[in-house]
Structures are given as C-alpha cells and as structure tokens.
Structure 1
Amino acid sequence: MTDKPEKKSRQQVYTLLIEVGRKDGDGLPKGATGAALMVYASGVDEAEAVRETVAILKQADMAPLDVTGYGTLQERLEQGHDISDEEKELMQRALDENSVVVAQMTPFFEDQKPAGKGRPN
C-alpha cells in the first residue's frame, strides 16, 4: 500500500506573553528592569512553542522569567479577542517560517526615587 501516513500533528501559532529580566547584552534600554514581549510562536502544541521561544530568547542573551499563553488565533477569536490584520499577518509569518516573531516589546522601569526618602514612617 502506497498511501502516505497521516500527519499526527500540525504546526499552529500561539500567542505568548514573555516577561524577561535583565542580563548583560540583552539589548534592553538603559535603566530598564526588564520587559514584556508579545510573541507569536509556531509549534505542534503550546508547550513546544514555549520551549522553542524560551530557547531562542536565551540564545539572544535575554533572561525569560515567566510565560503566559493566550492560545491559537482560533482560540483567541472564540474568547472574543479583537485581533488586527497586522497581528494576523505576523501570526501567518510565524507559521510560514516555522519561527518566533516578536510583535511588541515593552520595557519596565522602576520609580527613580531613592528608596527610603520622603516616605512616612
């Protein structure tokens, strides 16, 4: 029999929010204490997408601290998320290239006031 075996799984794109801390060479702005990265990552399941994304971020000298998954495009639409055409294009790119696409980076900054000054006891 020459039938092709059915594929067990199919790549999908998952929306992930990754919180990163500071590490030498991470490329974050001076004074930032970390950042949040909105990422579209391909994988056969969300766990694989997370593993691949964390590995890539570590290779880029970033320090991943926490990952929150928001699911696939279909799951997000079912939850009522408003997803722009630009987001859909980035998701498609991640799928086409079997890659991780960083859609947005938001650095975190702490309050610049010296600790302990001006606070009531």
Structure 2
Amino acid sequence: MTETPSPGRDKRPQQVFTLAVEVGRKAGDGLPKGATGAGLLLYATGVDEAEAVREAVAVLKLADLAPLDVTGYGSLAEREAAGEEIDAEERALMARALAENAVIVAQMEPFFGEDRPAKG
C-alpha cells in the first residue's frame, strides 16, 4: 500500500547534512588492528538533521560499525549562512549524496590508544 500525502501538506525536500560520527570497535568492522575506534566525516540526506542522523546510524550499523556519538554541522545552506567556505570537492560529495539519497563517508580516521577526541 502506497502512502499518499495528505491534502494541503507539501512534501519537504531532502537536504544534505554534514555529520561527524565517532565509532567504537565491533567484530567485523574492518578497522585496522590496534585501533580503538574511528572518526568519520559524512554527508547524509534527510528532510531534517534528525532524519539524516537516523539514516546515517542505520547505514553504519549495517556496515558492522558501532556508532557511539554523532555531531551535526548543519545543511549546506546553514553552513554557508554561517560563513563557512565549502570547496568544490565537498560540494560534489554533497551533490552525490542528494542525487543518490545516500550516506557518503568522506573521511575515516582510525583512533589508536589515546587518539580519541576529548569530550567536553
């Protein structure tokens, strides 16, 4: 059964959000031997940041990663409004995420020992 939108209610457009995710260790995660976890920079789509976070966490879990913490940095428009400069490569990855309605991992940095970022 296909859901039809209620009359008078517009479907909100997908946006791309920039997220930083800290992952812990899990069997089969593919992280290097000796790593205690990793930090990931990714672009995820959603009608809002909360949906993008849920989608990103679900995809990471399917990839046998163990998400511990997610920090949102906003949509492309929000980042531009804050004065951030976004280079062509980053824009291309965001455009790909939007076109494919996907989660794109742009960077993954394994943590070793005390490499984990400090909370606070």
- The TM-score normalised by the length of structure 2 is 0.85
Q: Between Structure 1 and Structure 2, how many residues are aligned?
A: 108
Q: Per-residue deviation at 1:77?
A: 1.2
Q: Would you say 1:89 and 2:92 are equivalent positions?
A: yes
Q: Per-residue deviation at 1:5?
A: 6.3
Q: Per-residue deviation at 1:83?
A: 1.1
Map of 1:43 onto structure 2? 46
Q: Per-residue deviation at 1:82?
A: 2.1
Match 2:102 to one of 99, 104, 108 = 99
Map of 2:15 onto structure 1? 12
**Secondary structure of 1:8's aligned partner:** coil
Unaligned runs of 5+ in 1: 112-121
Map of 1:119 onto structure 2? none
**Structure 1 Cα separation of the partners of residues 92 and 58 of structure 2:** 24
Unaligned runs of 5+ in 2: 1-6, 115-120
Map of 1:116 onto structure 2? none
Map of 2:3 onto structure 1? none
Match 1:24 to one of 27, 30, 34 = 27
State the identity %: 67
For the aligned residue pairs, the C-alpha RMSD in angstroms reads: 1.4
- The TM-score normalised by the length of structure 1 is 0.84
